[in-house]
Amino acid sequence: MTRVRTAPLAGAAALVGLAAVLVGHSLENGPARLGAAAPSGTGGGSGPGGSSPPAATTPPAASSKVSGSASGALEQYGYGELSVAVRAEGGKIVSVTVTKLLTADQYSQQIANEVIPMLRSEVLHAQSAQISAVSGATYTSEAYAASLQSALDKLHLK
Partner 1 sequence: MGTVVSYRLEPGEIGDAAARAALGASIRELHRIDRLFSTFAPDSAMSRFRVGEAVDEVEHEEITSVLRLCGRAREITAGWFDPWAMPGGVDPTGLVKGWAVERAASILARAGVEAALVNGGGDIASVGPATRGQPWRIGIRHPWRQEALACVVELEGGGAVATSGTYERGAHLIDPFTRRRAGARHGALGSVARVVSATVVGPSLALADAMATALAVAGSAGVSVAASLVEAGYESYRISADGREEATSGFPFAAAAAPA
User: Smallest Cα–Cα separation from 81: which of 73, 89, 92?
Assistant: 73
Sketch the per residue contact string, 17 through 56, with partner 1: x for CB under 8 A, - otherwise: -xxxxxx-------------------x--xxxxxxxxxxx
Distant-in-sequence, close-in-space partners of 19: CB < 8 Å, separation ≥ 6: 77, 78, 79
Distant-in-sequence, close-in-space partners of 27: CB < 8 Å, separation ≥ 6: 94, 95
Site for partner 1 in 117-136 (CB under 8 A): 119, 122-123, 125-126, 129-136
62 binds partner 1 (CB under 8 A): no
Rg (CA), the chain: 17
99 binds partner 1 (CB under 8 A): no
Contact set with partner 1 (CB under 8 A): 1-5, 7-13, 15-16, 18-23, 43, 46-56, 77-78, 84, 96, 115, 119, 122-123, 125-126, 129-141, 143-151, 153, 158
